[in-house]
Amino acid sequence: MTSLRNLPSVEQLLQTQQAAELVAAYGRPLTLSAIRGALDLVRARVSKRRDATLPDREGLLALAAESLSAWTRPTLLPVINATGVILHTNLGRAPLSAASIAAMDAVSRGYSTLEFDLATGKRGSRLVHAESLLRRLTGAEAAVVVNNNAAAVLLTLSALAARKRVVIARSQLVEIGGGFRVPDVMKQSGAKLVEVGTTNKTRLTDYEDALEEGAALVLRAHQSNFKIVGFTEEPEWKEIVAAAHRAGVPCVDDLGSGALLDTARFGLAHEPTVQESLAAGADVVCFSGDKLLGGPQAGIIVGKADLLAKIKKHPLARAIRADKLCLAALTATLLHYLKDEAEREIPAWRMIAAAPGQVKKRAKAWAAELGQGEVAASRSTVGGGSLPGESLPTFVLSLAVKSPAKFLDGLRLQSPPVIARTENDRILLDPRTVLPEQDGALLVNLMNALRKKSAAV
């Protein structure tokens, strides 16, 4: 029978060189907790099985080391996205430009002018950093940045339509990723939902009838990740805006994707741009910073100065405001558009603009380096709730392996992890979404995964 009296004490274990190394690496409080946890684990084992063997001091400290490693292992890690989905929501959406990363690094290393006016030496406003750029880019009178687009919509409705009627087409009462439902957001803001039209058909008269009964706003919500096709009808945005304005009611456009460039130029369906919505008469436009804009996670609100003034003053605005890193990255991203270099400098647009021939060349280089695999035609998608059903022609590296599921598991365990996809029991890796500087790491990790138990067929 094993006696727990033979277990060393916490203090005895702390006197060892092995424990000293753990303390140096993880700190004394955390190491103490891990050692106590290791002792508790052994006691629990012995209580269940009295003939269990007691580990020696090295074994106990090895258990503690395992716990310390697990507790301190980061879970937010960079990965290589070889899926072909450009704005992959689960993988962080838009990768940032080099200039955006440099801007965040610069303001995070010390103090900054986040809310300080250098000209007067007095307190300033964080709202000014992106506002002038957004006004110049979109033609809006004013702008404000918050932490994401859901927050932007919630803030706008709360500031402009709390306890008031908001008209929206029934076809736009959507749910997007993460359980974000337009009706729920409207309810949370205090706005009273007024549905018009049917699921597939909404006419201008539907809006006009609802406006005659009184309303504070007309809202259009981007359908994001789906399309209604077939027997459908919907008035143009400029017609809806004109009807609302005749009734003295402002219009809010939740564009979601944040396109500032015409996606049709790249062989995709046309995605409504912020500039187009404002030109059509929208009073307020809300959109994301980390989708087609290609910047950090942010919610951006642009529009008429009087309405934006109410939005800026609302108490919720402080709770969801953007921090200095977001504002630094966003302003650097916006500058790419102002300098007409977005396609070259913003990774998401560079991926969208990449010609199939360029992608094929990289896929061939991967196959040559690995000494195996085939280059095959395939399709890339934009993702991120933008341009549903739209895709771009691409070329992929196609690998035949014994167990595709196990191979994908192995790729995810590499450092950095590689995220790929399967099709017809083959592993597909799309160069379009792999950053050029990641090619070396990708090939090393593929070689490692292929070597394991001769994974290749």
Give per-residue pLDDT as tens, 116-175.
Answer: 999 999 999 999 999 999 999 999 999 999 999 999 999 999 999 999 999 999 887 776
Judge whether 312 and 127 are in contact, CB under 8 Å. yes
Q: How many domains does the chain have?
A: 3
Given a cut of 80, whether residue 435 has pLDDT beyond it is: yes
Indicate if 311 and 403 belong to the same structural domain: no
Integer-rounded Cα Rg, in Å, for the chain is 28
Give the residue-averaged pLDDT of 169-196. Answer: 79
Give the residue-averaged pLDDT of 278-307. Answer: 97
Assess if residue 368 is contained within a domain. Answer: yes
Indicate if 384 and 261 belong to the same structural domain: no
Indicate if 234 and 340 belong to the same structural domain: yes
Indicate if 161 and 300 belong to the same structural domain: yes
Given a cut of 80, whether residue 179 has pLDDT beyond it is: no
- pLDDT tens digit sequence for 208-262: 999 999 999 999 988 665 566 666 778 899 999 999 999 999 999 999 888 999 9
Helix, strand, coil content of the chain in percent (nearest 5) = 50, 20, 35
Indicate if 203 and 229 belong to the same structural domain: yes
Q: What is the H or E stretch that residue 45 is in?
A: helix 28-48
What is the sign, positive or negative, of the torsion defined by CA atoms of 167, 168, 174, 178?
Answer: negative
Assess if residue 373 is contained within a domain. Answer: yes
What is the structure's pLDDT at 225?
Answer: 58
Q: Which CATH number does the domain housing residue 358 bear?
A: 3.90.1150.110
Indicate if 218 and 283 belong to the same structural domain: yes
Name residue, tokens 């706003």. 217
Indicate if 304 and 377 belong to the same structural domain: no
Given a cut of 70, whether residue 180 has pLDDT beyond it is: no
The parent domain of residue 312 ranges over 96-345
Residue 123 in tokens = 């307190």
Boundary residue ending a domain (345, 365, 385): 345
AA letter at 174: V
Indicate if 306 and 381 belong to the same structural domain: no
pTM reported for the whole predicted model:
0.91
At residue 47 the predicted structure's pLDDT band, cuts being 50, 70 and 90, is: confident
> C-alpha distances in angstroms, 29 versus 7, 24, 36, 43?
21, 11, 11, 21
What is the structure's pLDDT at 227?
Answer: 65
Boundary residue ending a domain (311, 345, 379): 345
Backbone angles phi, psi at 234, to 5 degrees: -155, 130
Given a cut of 70, whether residue 456 has pLDDT beyond it is: no
Q: Which CATH number does the domain housing residue 282 bear?
A: 3.40.640.10
- pLDDT tens digit sequence for 392-433: 999 999 999 999 999 999 999 999 999 999 999 999 999 999
Indicate if 172 and 271 belong to the same structural domain: yes
Assess if residue 457 is contained within a domain. Answer: no
Indicate if 341 and 352 belong to the same structural domain: no
- What rounded mean pLDDT belongs to the chain? 92
Assess if residue 241 is contained within a domain. Answer: yes
AA letter at 79: V
Assess if residue 300 is contained within a domain. Answer: yes
Assess if residue 430 is contained within a domain. Answer: yes
Percent of the chain with pLDDT over 90: 80
Assess if residue 456 is contained within a domain. Answer: no
Between CA 142 and CA 151, with CA 146 as vertex, the angle to 5 degrees is 115
Indicate if 49 and 16 belong to the same structural domain: yes
Assess if residue 439 is contained within a domain. Answer: yes
Between CA 61 and CA 68, with CA 67 as vertex, the angle to 5 degrees is 85
Indicate if 188 and 318 belong to the same structural domain: yes
Judge whether 99 and 335 are in contact, CB under 8 Å. yes
Paired sense of beta strands 426-429 and 391-399, if any = antiparallel
